[in-house]
Amino acid sequence: MIDIKLLEYLESFLTPRRQGLNKKVLEERTNHFTVAVEDVYQLHNTSAVIRSCDVFGIQNVHVIEEINAKRIDREIAMGAQKWVDINRYSTTKECLTTLQRKGYQIIATTPHDDSKVLQDFDIDKPAAFFFGREQQGLSDQILKVADTRLHIPMVGFTESLNISVSAAILLQHVTSKLKETNSNWQLSEEEKLEKRMEWAKKVIKSHEQIIARYHDNE
């Protein structure tokens, strides 16, 4: 439970513009959709996906590092890693189990097999979109358990898009459609308060001293 008075005290050290921006962004955030990347080799691709998640309001990203351990490329992500929650997994199984327990349907993005066209995807149920390695794509482990396989229609000679481009196109489509519905897609009020607290701490370098001073004066 967030201490509202402490939150308001901490936010008083932010500019009115920063306070307003945090609240505005949080109104567009969602956990109805989430994104998972499986052992993407090129670091800048993972970072660019995280950036797209921030742009389109996806609060949680899941990074599987079973084969390729990586760090976040700050230049590509352009600070997005500060505002998006990055969940790391050492195995694909761990990630799948976690998301399934949270009630997400597993969506495998692949241009092959019997995959559905993006425009036909049903956005009503919570969904976790999985993106795979640049050359190999998603592992058989994910493809076998996926509730749906999805692809972006293409009409050129090129068979596939870069993973970060695919993620951006997909997220723009599904989040736009989601916001046209009456679904309860936004973060809960408690989640918004938690994020406001986290984000205030990330902006205010001396937040520990400020919080200690607040408690001393209680």
Measured from the Cβ of residue 84, the count of other Cβ atoms closer than 10 Å reads 23
Task: Confirm or reject CATH 3.40.1280.10 for domain 29-185, answering yes or no.
Answer: yes
Write the DSSP symbol of residue 118. G
Work out the percent of the chain whose per-residue pLDDT is above 90.
68
**pTM of the entire structure?**
0.91
- Listed in order, the ranges of the chain carrying CATH 3.40.1280.10 are 29-185
Structure token pair of residue 87: 């969940």
The pLDDT, as a whole number, for residue 142 is 95
Residues 87 and 62 sit within 8 Å (Cβ to Cβ): yes
Give per-residue pLDDT as tens, 97-141.
999 999 999 999 987 767 889 999 999 999 999 997 766 778 899
- Helix H or strand E segment including 62: strand 60-64
Measured over all CA atoms, what is the biggest interatomic distance in the chain, rounded to whole angstroms?
68
Alpha helices in 89-206 (DSSP H): 92-101, 140-145, 163-178, 189-203
> What is the rounded CA–CA span in Å between residue 126 and residue 208?
36
